[in-house]
Structure 1
Amino acid sequence: MRHHSGFILALIAAVASAPTIPSVFRRASDGSIPTVYAPVGTVQGTIDPETPSVHRFLGIPFAQPPLGPLRFSPTQRLESLPSSPFDASQPPPSCMQFLMDMTIYTQNILEFNLQGLNGTSAAISEDCLTLDVYTPTPDEPRPTDSSDPKLPVIIFLYGGAFSMGGADIPYQIPAKWVQRTQGHIVVVPNYRLNIFGFPHAAGLQGEPQNLGLLDQRLAVEWVRDNIKAFGGDPQRIALWGQSAGAVSTGFYQYAWTEDPIIDAVMMDSGSEFLDAAVQSTQDVEFSNFTTVAMGVGCGGLGPDDELACMRTKDAQAIEDVIQGHSQMLKQPFIIFTPVVDGETVFDDYAERGQQGQMAQVPTIIGTNVNDGSAFVSVGVNGAGANQTLADAVGLMLFLCPSLKSALTRIAAGAPVYRYLYAGNFTNISPTPFLGAYHEAELPLLFGTFEDFRGDATELQRETSVAMQDSWLALASSGMMGMDAVGWPRYTGLGGVVREFGGPNVVEDTSTLAVDSTCPPFFQS
């Protein structure tokens, strides 16, 4: 699937004709094949005519395939690519998953699903630990000497309740953002999900259970070690996540305090204080894993034998059992999420923050005005929507935890920049009730907001630019960058919050009165 006619001959010609001086980018004679010589091996990418000034390097493995005995095991470093040159011209498979019935994402808006489908893409695989790199197209080859200017790097961690997501989601392709700025690099890694990423198995007691979080860490290490070859600055790496990805970035800051690698963080609609993100911690009997094991013929075994048996079963058969038990009308309902282990996830973030036990890097953290609307019943035209319930969900799952996360970071001495996204644009929110729903800000940040359901308004275009430039300012220059875009630091309750996309306003600063409705725990 990764090779097409004439590819190998063109690549041989490219290498043979390349200059002898070390360089980051070399092209074939027709200019169509970008090639990078990285420490991990030679990578050959592609250029999409829609974004001609962007090099796309897709599906680069950053870890050993987690197959066979490596299923349910910590991520293993990949010292070199499986082939060199490696063909990185085709989108990779996403990790094993199924599409849960998430109301608007299966009824109204499909572009947040894998390949924009109303169902799980056929392109899923257990062999999925890859990453995509999007870089500006250089005007000419860049020598790899110390005077070569390097670009800031943003690593994006997708959301999806630790059960869904991947690098091939239409609204979350960063090429148009990179095309517009020509000033940064975006990396999107895949990480293991549900039972494959967070098994919580009795046979793994005393061993790592949060494998998806370890995948994320190894992806960050890969970027540190290889991104210079792509034109990136290993000293300017920002970690950005949305929803479960934002929860992951919160976990990350506390898990790797001694060697964070990253020097900036962006958290969209999620934080380490979202208790629902660690539901599996309550499964003290490891019954979820055992229920799935019984469903694939591994029942009635002791912990070690159960684990060994599960490592031999077909991945799709395992996924089918989980899907069957994840329908709300079938019991028991099972889900696999990170667990508190005292190493990658903790249960005392407030105390750790007060003690400064976190990576004290500048952080953007915020939520959407109507984050909760995606999680209540919505008809095709918004009929039957319960705004009171939507507000309550948004408050308790997103806004209040993000407030606590911001206050904890301030107590630890980390600079915080807080935002609220209020955009209600019809080509993203096709029913009035949805408004600024969960994920609605992402098309503006990725620059994909005009790809579906009609053209944008001028306000929407300007809001997109303002948000992109703000996220990039933090990644590029930290606090100095935020000063340059006029975004003041958040100082605590009553401090200023930047609002994007409000009625007739691209961006503005205000305070959030709704913070006072959060329970006392979240306000201190």
Structure 2
Amino acid sequence: MLFKGFSALLPFLASVAAANPVSKPMKQPCSSDLKVQLRDGVVHGLVDSTTPGVRQFLGIPYAQPPLGDLRFAPPQPLAKPFGEFNATKPPVSCMQYATKIPNIYNQLVPQYLPYGLVGSPGPISEDCLTISVWAPRGTQKKNLPVLLFIFGGSFQYGAEEIPYLIPAEWVQRTQDHLVVSFNYRLNIFGYPNAAGLPTEEENPGLLDQRFAVEWVRDNIAAFGGDTKRIGLWGQSAGAISVGTYGYAYPEDPIVNTLLMDSGSEFYPAPVLYATTSDVTHSNFTFVASKFGCGGLNPAAELACMRKADAFAIENFLEVYQDSFTQPLIAFAPTVDGKTFFADYNARALAGKIAKIPTLIGSNAQDGSAFMPFSINGVNATVADAVTFNYFFCPAYKSAADRLAAGIPVYRYLYSGNFTNISPKPWLGAYHESELPLLMGTHPLFRGNSTEFEYQTSDLMQDSWLTFVATAGDAAAMSSKVGWPEWTNADSGLVRSFAPAPGVTASSLSLHDLEKLCPAGLQPN
């Protein structure tokens, strides 16, 4: 595959080895650390026996349920304090459907699906704007760095409750940071692009994300987090969200760093979603016509669709979209001039971007996950083209624009091909396959991990955490995790994780490949 031989381009410059994580003996604090006073009330958490050093607070409401007139609207603060809240059960997911089209996730690795379920998204509801916190035990732990994670899923599906994405194992290992994850609205409920909405309100799903960031700013200290050290981290659609976030809030980003796994603001969204050019709002109107809301003016159409049954809407989308019926319809972020923009390069050159350090990268075989499914493998040539044009080149473009804007940048390439994560060797380092190593869930399914896999996981965890904890300080990144800052678009070094069996990391120059990126993705 295209990136398979990267480790042979240059001799590796660094190799890091670490022992398997061993839980340190700790004093068992009293259960008072499972009771946390927040702005809107008291939340009660839990401790799982498999990660006894981690407090889990699951499904805390961070906004009003977007029901009735609040459907398709920007998120709103809770109408009243919730008083006492039992944050001990996995939260329901936002409205979505589980595609029946065979793919690597529903055929080989269901641990990336909500609740790990094939053929069902699990419990779903419009009342889904919740947030979860994983923190070390003990009330004495204060001012710890925070990673605020935005899950991916093509803006169509995803949830807090995904087996591979539960970060408890990571927090158990370090006892030195917090991880936060949250639900945000998806597909037509998150990105309606309805004519009856003000232009700046067309992407309520992205507005949910900002609302969650503000919630963390206002509440995370109560869990022991540092409000000055919050890293906004996303994967796939979550990484696209993180990439656009820096442009949407250049003067008040709240967070101190941005981390983008396999996605950026330059992901060719129109190719996949065909929504950024839907200036006539035809997708929403088409769906409205199926629910007795056709032929109405924009305001009446919107009011009518706010009364339609949410599950009926989702069921219609499942049948219609999975059958590829014409006309094709899709719902994802659209250009609104507030959260999503038409020309990111121009905004970067104009300085309309948050000047905060950015970590960005992709996987060596990202594209293998998007091929027509076959148990015997995929067309490697096509998969490599998807990897190159949809992930590697957009990441390079995003990094180059940020570098030109004077922003510290760190780039990576993940190449791990571990059998308990990639059960078929042709999968390689497919889309999302780095997340089990970062979350620490890699040994929990399909057998234990190898020593090399643990070493790679430890190094990646320490790298992401050091980046947030030090705000991308070049000296700390170099001394603690051996990761050089990407300082030159022509010759900067890229961190390569697991570039070859037995090599946890190396530093590579990928400029010869970057020169092959489409002209439209080159720095201007």
TM-score normalised per structure 2: 0.90
Name the residue aligned to 1:523. Answer: 522
Q: Amino acid of the residue matched to residue 257 of structure 1?
A: P
Name whichever of 289-298 and 394-403 sits farther off: 289-298
Name whichever of 399-408 and 302-311 sits farther off: 302-311
Name the residue aligned to 2:220. Answer: 227
Q: Which runs of 5+ in 1 are unaligned?
A: 1-26, 143-147
Name the residue aligned to 1:281. Answer: 276
Q: What is the rounded CA distance, in whole Å, between the counterparts of 1:425 and 1:185 in structure 2?
A: 27
Select 1:500's aligned residue among 489, 497, 502.
497
Q: What is the rounded CA distance, in whole Å, between the counterparts of 1:43 and 1:75 in structure 2?
A: 21
Q: Amino acid of the residue matched to residue 364 of structure 1?
A: L
**Maintained 8 Å contact 1:97/1:120:** no
| In the alignment, structure 1 residue 243 sits paired with structure 2 residue 242 | no
Name the residue aligned to 1:479. Answer: 472
Name the residue aligned to 1:8. Answer: none
Q: What is the rounded CA distance, in whole Å, between the counterparts of 2:49 and 2:251 in structure 1?
A: 43
Give 1:494 shift: 2.5
Residue deviations 1:145-202 (CA, integer Å, cap 9, x gap)? xxx7410111000000000101001000000000000010011011000000000011
Residue deviations 1:30-66 (CA, integer Å, cap 9, x gap)? x397101122211101111110000000000000110
**Maintained 8 Å contact 1:176/1:448:** yes
| In the alignment, structure 1 residue 291 sits paired with structure 2 residue 286 | yes
Name the residue aligned to 1:17. Answer: none
**Maintained 8 Å contact 1:429/1:436:** yes
**Maintained 8 Å contact 2:262/2:366:** yes
Give 1:354 shift: 1.5
Name the residue aligned to 2:20. Answer: none
Name the residue aligned to 1:379. Answer: 374
Select 2:330's aligned residue among 332, 335, 342.
335
| In the alignment, structure 1 residue 316 sits paired with structure 2 residue 314 | no
Q: Amino acid of the residue matched to residue 34 of structure 2?
A: P
Q: What is the rounded CA distance, in whole Å, between the counterparts of 2:104 and 2:53 in structure 1?
A: 34
Name whichever of 232-241 and 280-289 sits farther off: 280-289
Residue deviations 1:287-315 (CA, integer Å, cap 9, x gap)? 11112112222222221111111101111
Q: What is the rounded CA distance, in whole Å, between the counterparts of 1:33 and 1:496 in structure 2?
A: 43
1:338-357 map, 5 Å = 338-357=333-352
1:104-503 map, 5 Å = 104-138=104-138, 141-142=139-140, 149-276=142-269, 279-382=274-377, 385-480=378-473, 481-483=476-478, 484-491=480-487, 492-503=489-500
**Maintained 8 Å contact 1:61/1:81:** no
Q: Amino acid of the residue matched to residue 278 of structure 2?
A: D
RMSD across aligned C-alpha pairs, in angstroms? 1.6
**Maintained 8 Å contact 1:33/1:46:** no
Overall identity of the aligned pairs, in %? 53
Q: Amino acid of the residue matched to residue 52 of structure 2?
A: P
**Maintained 8 Å contact 1:419/1:499:** yes
Question: What is the SS of the residue equivalent to 1:124?
Answer: coil
**Maintained 8 Å contact 2:257/2:472:** no
Give 1:121 shift: 2.7
Residue deviations 1:300-357 (CA, integer Å, cap 9, x gap)? 2221111111101111101111112212442222110101111111112111112221
Give 1:207 shift: 4.7
**Maintained 8 Å contact 2:239/2:263:** yes
Q: Amino acid of the residue matched to residue 338 of structure 1?
A: P
Q: What is the rounded CA distance, in whole Å, between the counterparts of 2:240 and 2:311 in structure 1?
A: 27
Q: What is the rounded CA distance, in whole Å, between the counterparts of 1:225 and 1:33 in structure 2?
A: 19
Cα distance 1:286–1:58, how it changes in 2: closer, same or farther (>3 A)? same
Q: What is the rounded CA distance, in whole Å, between the counterparts of 1:225 and 1:283 in structure 2?
A: 36
Q: Amino acid of the residue matched to residue 505 of structure 1?
A: V
Count of aligned pairs between the two proteins: 487
Q: What is the rounded CA distance, in whole Å, between the counterparts of 1:438 and 1:172 in structure 2?
A: 14
Q: What is the rounded CA distance, in whole Å, between the counterparts of 1:79 and 1:500 in structure 2?
A: 46
Give 1:122 shift: 3.2
Q: Amino acid of the residue matched to residue 483 of structure 2?
A: W
TM-score normalised per structure 1: 0.90
Name the residue aligned to 2:44. Answer: 44
**Maintained 8 Å contact 1:40/1:226:** no
Question: What is the SS of the residue equivalent to 1:366?
Answer: strand
Question: What is the SS of the residue equivalent to 1:452?
Answer: coil
Give 1:395 shift: 0.9
Q: What is the rounded CA distance, in whole Å, between the counterparts of 1:205 and 1:360 in structure 2?
A: 29
Q: Which runs of 5+ in 2 are unaligned?
A: 1-27
> Larger relative contact order (C-alpha < 8 A, sep ≥ 6)?
2
Give 1:102 shift: 5.9
Q: Amino acid of the residue matched to residue 493 of structure 2?
A: V
Q: What is the rounded CA distance, in whole Å, between the counterparts of 2:326 and 2:102 in structure 1?
A: 18
Q: Amino acid of the residue matched to residue 518 of structure 2?
A: P
Cα distance 1:149–1:133, how it changes in 2: closer, same or farther (>3 A)? closer
Q: What is the rounded CA distance, in whole Å, between the counterparts of 1:233 and 1:187 in structure 2?
A: 13
Q: Amino acid of the residue matched to residue 509 of structure 1?
A: S
**Maintained 8 Å contact 2:234/2:241:** yes
Name the residue aligned to 2:97. Answer: 98
Q: Amino acid of the residue matched to residue 486 of structure 1?
A: G
Q: What is the rounded CA distance, in whole Å, between the counterparts of 2:120 and 2:330 in structure 1?
A: 17
Give 1:77 shift: 1.6
Give 1:514 shift: 2.1
Cα distance 1:173–1:328, how it changes in 2: closer, same or farther (>3 A)? same
Name whichever of 501-510 and 279-288 sits farther off: 279-288
**Maintained 8 Å contact 2:355/2:407:** yes
Q: Amino acid of the residue matched to residue 433 of structure 2?
A: A
